[in-house]
């Protein structure tokens, strides 16, 4: 099941502007406060966040709707069976060039050996602007096919 927070109106919603052309970023973050910050930052940065409740849910969504999503933003340490490392590898099995941004408060030292190639790592705490810049860089550079 896809969980999306819709309680806060976006400025584009106020003016009746559709965000349908905005890149959809699949987000997995189990800290509710940080999840809300990530969602707001992405939306304010011109992206449409889609919140997955777990790594398993994210992979199910990617398998079913791969072309819907432009990138994955995942915490490394997640509740459930799959951590962010495994989710990113699963995403790359679905699409070898799928852009991946890891966000972490710990475990970043493992990124060179456990992270997927051409991914980006953003250490917590980070600002909304840093997150949006990292996603923009990831989407601009892409990942090799």
Query: Tens of pLDDT along 92-119?
Result: 999 999 999 999 998 789 999 999 999 9
Kindly state the helix (H) or strand (E) to which residue 142 belongs, with its residue range. Answer: none
- Compute the distance between CA of residue 140 and CA of residue 132 in angstroms, rounded to an integer: 12
The pLDDT value recorded for residue 48 is: 97
The pLDDT value recorded for residue 108 is: 83
Residues contacting residue 23 through CB under 8 Å, at least 6 positions apart? 46, 47, 48, 70, 71, 139
The pLDDT value recorded for residue 6 is: 37
The pLDDT value recorded for residue 21 is: 83
- Burial grade of 28 (CB within 10 A; 0-12, 13-18, 19 or more): buried
All structural domains of the chain, each given as residue ranges with its CATH number in brackets, are 20-141 (3.40.50.2300)
The pLDDT value recorded for residue 14 is: 40
- Burial grade of 98 (CB within 10 A; 0-12, 13-18, 19 or more): buried
The pLDDT value recorded for residue 79 is: 86
Low-confidence ranges of the chain (pLDDT < 70): 1-20, 142-145
99 alpha carbon, distance to own chain's centre? 9
């Amino acid at each position: 099941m896809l969980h999306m927070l819709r309680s806060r109106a976006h400025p584009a919603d106020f003016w009746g502007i559709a965000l349908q052309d905005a890149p959809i970023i699949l987000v997995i973050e189990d800290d509710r406060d940080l999840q809300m910050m990530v969602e707001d930052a992405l939306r304010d940065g011109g992206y449409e966040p889609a919140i997955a409740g777990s790594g398993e849910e994210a992979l199910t969504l990617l398998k079913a709707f791969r072309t819907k999503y432009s990138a994955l933003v995942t915490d490394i340490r997640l509740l459930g069976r799959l951590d962010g490392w495994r989710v990113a590898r699963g995403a790359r099995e679905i699409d070898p060039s799928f852009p991946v941004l890891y966000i972490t408060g710990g475990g970043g030292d493992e990124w060179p050996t456990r992270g997927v190639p051409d991914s980006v790592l953003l250490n917590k705490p980070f600002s909304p602007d840093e997150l949006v810049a990292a996603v923009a860089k990831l989407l601009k550079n892409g990942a090799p096919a």
